[in-house]
Chains A and B, each alone.
Chain A
Amino acid sequence: MDISSLSVKKIKQLIDSKNISTVELAGLYLDRIEQLNPQLNAFVTVDKDKTLSQAKQVDQLIAQGHSNALLGVPIAHKDIFCAKGWLTTCGSKMLANFVAPYDAHIIEEFNKSGAIILGKTNMDEFAMGSSNETSYFGLVKNPWDLTKVPGGSSGGSAAAVAARLAPLATATDTGGSIRQPAALCGISGLKPTYGYVSRYGMIAYASSLDQGGLMAPSAEDIAYGLNIMAGHDERDSTSVKREKEDFTAQLHHPIQGLRIGIPEEFFSEGLDSDVAQAVEQAIQELEKLGAVRVPLSLPNTSLSVPVYYVLAPAEASSNLSRFDGVRYGHRTQDYRDLIELYEKTRAEGFGAEVKRRILTGTYVLSRGYYDAYYLQAQRVRRLILQDYLRAFEQCDVILGPSTPTVAFGFNEKTSDPVSMYLSDIFTISVNLAGLPGLSIPVGFGKEHLPVGLQLIGPHFSEAKLLNAAHQYQLHTDWHQHLPAGIAGN
């Protein structure tokens, strides 16, 4: 069986109709991972025995007549989610030997739904990066061109889905870490509304921005996954209480009359023409389906990057203070006293980007600078949210490119952190405002590299975003294109 074209829906049908067993299907994916992962490095941990034993249990449930939402559907998890008994490294030397003693909320939910864990995917260290180059476990290659980055921080999940090593993958997004790699790898990726997906057991970077989400070839695949992932969890104090929603229910609604806001700031200086062209064609396609274009302005867009690089490092400097060599993770070999144990452990355990963000955060929170940097950034954060709230009075969704360029080369942006940070210019404001954002593939730019389009909606409008994307994907086939050299089996 050629598994490279399998959707979540198709997998459910195959399993339900007993055309394939869970063990057989998981085996096919494990074979494909074994074959292709050495060149991509998308997975950092694969454990065949664990995967197959989970699959066997699910087959037994099926034999007993049980049914469940994702019974037998294979899934890859970003290595930021604690999964009991699995190495959970967060891309860092600090946690290189950390076997999680408990499950993250979303891991529990996927396990309960009958999904099968294929392994843990590579990522930028502690989710800090936009190219996956900060991982302690090596570069991830973009399946479309092995000399290009897959984006980050969820680069492993993105590459795994793009190469069809998994039909569905979890990921996280603090400033674009789902949508940017999804765009650069030619797949769909959703960052839900802040608070919709529990952060329990998801290793923290910037807690007021971090949000778990999903990657898959299509919006429809994501809808099936989100049904499992979204929901209240009292172990996360920012988890919102809402009725369980079926995100597949609205997919088939027509989008006649959908008002699509086009912010001029997303199409200005810095946007490459190949990306602009593909996005414009997608807008025209949506117009053919009945959507209406509404020009508008998000005047504070350019401030989102500096706001983010105050707030996220500030929160990170606090969150990452827990890595002290005492309770878990790396501990330095030689030390004279407790302070030296901390200082050397953290010097050895963290990579350069993580240290830089901790130092930045330490600075903006320190006495004398807190008002000037931290509070000022929080004020501008409100201006950015207000921009969006005003915009949504005129439109139903906002549309723009997910990234200013297609995938860039390795080491192209590593020496200048700010040039790397600017690759998230279109995604960061969405996290600051806590909104849902969905990136979908809409064609190819230079060197036949994928272009992503981003749909942004009001809080809790995931079903609407997935509906618009699904309608687009019913009429186009960009989400079905496969990178040359990895097609078929």
Chain B
Amino acid sequence: MSLTDQEIKHLAKLARIHIEDTELSLLRDQLGKVFQLIDTLQAVDTTGIEPLSHSLALNQPLREDRVTEPNLRDVYQAVAPEVEKGLYIVPKVIE
């Protein structure tokens, strides 16, 4: 299958990646090749086969509900683009 420019723009919107119109033709071509590859899976008969999400049958590990981490807010926020009084700063979301 191949994607239309409209579909690629929609995907980019969902993925929150801005793409320029000039990038579309190369993306269409390369994504087309990738989809051609993954479309080969459609021909495989998987009737009765359970999906495998994980190679080992692991149980979700549980632990006691106790505090194990110290408060390292300042350390972690030191690498943030913009913080103020311990808060991450982003453009206004609600008017």
Q: Which residues of A contact B (CB under 8 A)?
A: 98-99, 101-102, 193-195, 208, 234, 237-238, 240, 303, 305-307, 309-310, 317, 321, 324-331, 335-344, 346-347, 350, 355-356, 358-360, 362-364, 366, 372-373, 375-383, 385, 416-418, 421, 432-435, 459
B67 contacts A by Cβ under 8 Å: no
Known: A305-B37, A327-B80. A378 touches B51 (CB 8 A): yes
Chain B, range 17-51, C-beta contacts under 8 Å to A: 17-19, 27, 30-31, 33-42, 44, 46, 49-51
Are B79 and A356 in contact, with the CB atoms below 8 A?
no
Known A-B contacts A338-B90, A359-B12, A362-B14; A303 and B53 likewise in contact (beta carbons under 8 Å)? no
Do the beta carbons of A328 and B55 come within 8 Å of each other? no
Known: A101-B76, A356-B34. A337 touches B49 (CB 8 A): no
Q: At the interface, yes or no: B60 with Cβ under 8 Å from chain A?
A: yes
Name the CB-closest residue of A to B14: A362
Least CB distance from A381 to B in Å reads 5
Q: Which of A325, A331, A418, A432 contacts B33 (CB 8 A)?
A: A418
B15, B38, B63, B79: the one within 8 Å of A359 (CB)? B15
Residue of B with least CB distance to A311: B53
Q: Quick one: closest A residue to B7, CB to CB?
A: A363
**B46-A376 in contact (CB<8A):** yes
Contact at B18–A347, with CB atoms within 8 Å? yes
Distance (Å) between the CB of B52 and the closest chain A CB?
A: 4
Using Cβ atoms and an 8 Å threshold, which residues of chain A touch B46?
Answer: 376, 379-380, 383
The B interface, classified by DSSP as helix, strand, loop or mixed, is loop
Q: How far is the CA of A416 from the CA of B32 in the complex (A)?
A: 11
In the complex with contacts A303-B44, A364-B38, A380-B41, A434-B56 CB distance below 8 A: yes
B45-81 CB contact bits vs A (8 Å, 1 = yes)?
0100111111110101101000000001001101111
Residue on B nearest A360 in the bound complex, by CB: B34
Q: Chain A residues with Cβ under 8 A from B85's Cβ?
A: none
Given contacts A341-B90, A347-B17, A356-B30, contact A194 B44 (CB under 8 A): no
> Is B5 at the interface (CB under 8 A from chain A)?
no
- Residues of B within 8 Å of A344, CB to CB, are 18
**What is the distance, in angstroms, from A249's C-beta to the closest C-beta of chain B?**
24
- For the complex formed, measure the closest distance between the CB of A233 and the CB atoms of chain B, giving whole angstroms: 11
Is A376 a contact of B41 with CB atoms below 8 Å?
yes
When the two chains form their complex, are residues A378 and B53 in contact, meaning their CB atoms are under 8 A apart? yes
Chain B residues within CB distance 8 Å of chain A: 3, 8, 11-12, 14-19, 27, 30-31, 33-42, 44, 46, 49-56, 58, 60-61, 63, 72, 75-76, 78-82, 88, 90-93
Flag if A373 contacts B11 (CB, 8 Å).
no
Chain A residues contacting B39 (CB-CB under 8 Å) are 306
Residues of A within 8 A of B8 (CB): 359
Residues of B within 8 A of A418 (CB): 33-34, 36-37
Give Cα A101 to B92, complex, Å.
Answer: 28
CB distance from B62 to the nearest CB of A (A): 10
Q: A310-B41, A356-B34 are in contact. Are A99 and B79 (CB under 8 A)?
A: yes
Contact B79 A98 (CB under 8 A): yes
CA distance A435 to B12 in the complex (A): 34
Contacts of A326 in B (CB 8 A): 80-81, 88, 90
CA distance A317 to B17 in the complex (A): 11
CA distance A251 to B88 in the complex (A): 52
CA distance A36 to B80 in the complex (A): 35
